[in-house]
Amino acid sequence: MTTRLIAGALGLAALAVPASAQEADEVTLQLKWVTQAQFAGYYVAEEQGFYDDENLDVTIKPGGPDIAPEQVIAGGGADVIVTWMAAGLAARERGVPLVNIAQPFATGGLQLTCLKETGVESPEDFPGRTLGVWFFGNEYPFYAWMAQLGIDTDGADEEGVTVLKQAFNVDPLLQGQADCISTMTYNEYGQILDAGYTEEELVNFNYLDEGVGMLEDGLYVLEEDLEDPEFVDKMARFVRASMRGWKWAEDNPEEAAQIVVDNDMTGAQTLDHQVYMMGEVAKLTAGSDGALDPADYQQTVDTLLSAVSEENPAITEEPEGAWTHAVTDEALGGDS
């Protein structure tokens, strides 16, 4: 679906909201991480009244290093969550029946970033190196990649790599603790540039380019909730309004960044960095109408299953019922 058709479908659907002044339906959204432009579409939808247009009262709950969205929704603390597909599938196999109902991020931004001065120019240079890796469900793509490369990750010999459990910052690279670290195109990579390094001094390995890309920020709900037609209708309205928010953010990145900063109750975010982040995030949501591409889903599953090990126990068998178009079909009038 083209961007023009997406905008048209979203706009026409918004006009179909009942005019009756009934009480708004409540929706609680749990984000994967803290308030930042990674989630701009949701904050924009709230600020611009797109949720109001759909008769929704949406509460957006920021995440953080000690918050696992999968646990929050399992405990009844959210109706819908933003998480990466690997984490969502892992949770499903372990008894939290999550279902992907929409995929605003059409592509991913996960990278491994290295200082060129360390001599790392290709994956062949990884053995003997220390690599920074995020955990809490973010480690699955890394271990799948290392398995495909045939590189041990226990750090026992020079033929393998040493894995540094990286905090959600770039300090290990700046302080010389790791040769390469995990970065997102829209966040940590910009932090390294802000620290004074130039793009020419860095080497980036994008997981998608390396053939081990996995779908990132999708919307997930509990399978049992989808048995309720009223819940499906509510989620369709939520997705429709959220995608309006994302398209508005793509077209108005600076205004969207300001909305994000205005909603950051910690005061930690700066407008300059959020403008940078919004520009990069827009590249990941561009062209998406919110409907999951089954081929992208299958690539994620195949990548995970190709590298099942003690270090990468995301899933051990082909998932069933892990995604649906029911919500996006209703949200977009069956055009997804």
Residues 120 and 219 in one domain: no
Indicate the SS3 state at residue 111: strand
Helix axes 40-47, 253-263, angle to 10 degrees: 90
My answer on whether 196 and 254 are in the same domain is no
pLDDT for residue 20: 46
Q: Are residues 78 and 144 in the same domain?
A: no
In a domain, 58, yes or no: yes
Q: What is the pLDDT along the chain (336 residues), one digit of tens a residue?
A: 444 445 555 555 555 444 445 899 999 999 999 999 999 999 999 999 999 999 999 999 999 988 999 999 999 999 999 999 999 999 999 999 999 999 999 999 999 999 999 999 999 999 999 999 998 778 888 998 998 899 999 876 788 999 999 998 999 999 999 999 999 999 999 999 999 999 999 999 999 889 888 999 999 999 999 999 999 999 999 999 999 999 999 999 999 999 999 999 999 999 999 999 999 999 999 999 999 999 999 999 998 888 776 666 789 999 999 999 999 999 998 544
Same domain, 57 and 184: no
Can you give the CATH number for the domain in which 293 is found?
3.40.190.10
Residue 89 lies in a domain: yes
Residues 233 and 305 in one domain: yes
Which is it for strands 180-184 and 110-115: parallel, antiparallel or unpaired?
A: antiparallel
Any domain includes 336: no
In sequence order, the 6+-apart residues with CB closer than 8 A to the CB of 181 are 112, 113, 114, 131, 132, 164, 166, 170, 172, 173, 188
Whole-model pTM? 0.88
Q: What DSSP string describes 188-222?
A: HHHHHHHTT--GGGEEEEETTTTT-----SEEEEE
Q: DSSP secondary-structure letter at 123?
A: G
For 201, the domain range is: 110-206
User: What's the pLDDT at 22?
Assistant: 80
The total number of structural domains in the chain stands at 2
How many CA atoms does the CB half-sphere of 40 hold within 13 Å? 33
> CA angle, 151 as apex, 146 and 153 as ends, to 5°?
80
- The reply to whether 300 and 222 lie within a common domain is yes
Q: Looking at the domain assignment, is residue 169 inside a domain?
A: yes
Element (H, E) at 8: helix 3-14
Contact call for residues 91 and 122 (beta carbons, < 8 A): no
Distance CA 149, CA 211 (A): 11
Q: Tell me the residue ranges of DSSP E strands in 62-175.
A: 80-83, 98-102, 110-115, 130-133, 162-165
Q: Is 271 inside a domain boundary?
A: yes
Neighbours of 269 (CB within 10 A): 19
In this structure, are 120 and 173 located in the same domain? yes
Contact between residue 216 and residue 39 where contact means Cβ atoms under 8 Å apart: no
**Helix, strand counts (H, E) of the chain:** 13, 10
On whether both 95 and 157 belong to a single domain, the answer is no
Q: Does residue 86 sit within a domain?
A: yes
Is the domain of 27 the same as that of 151? no
Dihedral angle computed from the Cα positions of residues 121, 123, 128 and 132, in that order, rounded to the nearest 10 degrees = 90
* Boundary of a domain, candidates 173, 206, 239: 206
Which domain-ending residue is among 158, 173, 206?
Answer: 206
Q: Is residue 97 part of a domain?
A: yes
Residues 153 and 26 in one domain: no
H/E element holding 30? strand 25-30
Same domain, 170 and 275: no
Residue 310, pLDDT score: 66
Establish if 173 belongs to a structural domain.
Answer: yes
Burial class (CB in 10 A: 0-12, 13-18, 19+), 61: middle
Are β-strands 218-222 and 80-83 bridged in parallel, bridged antiparallel, or unpaired? antiparallel
Domain shared by 221 and 318, yes or no: yes
Residue where a domain stops, chosen among 188, 206, 224: 206
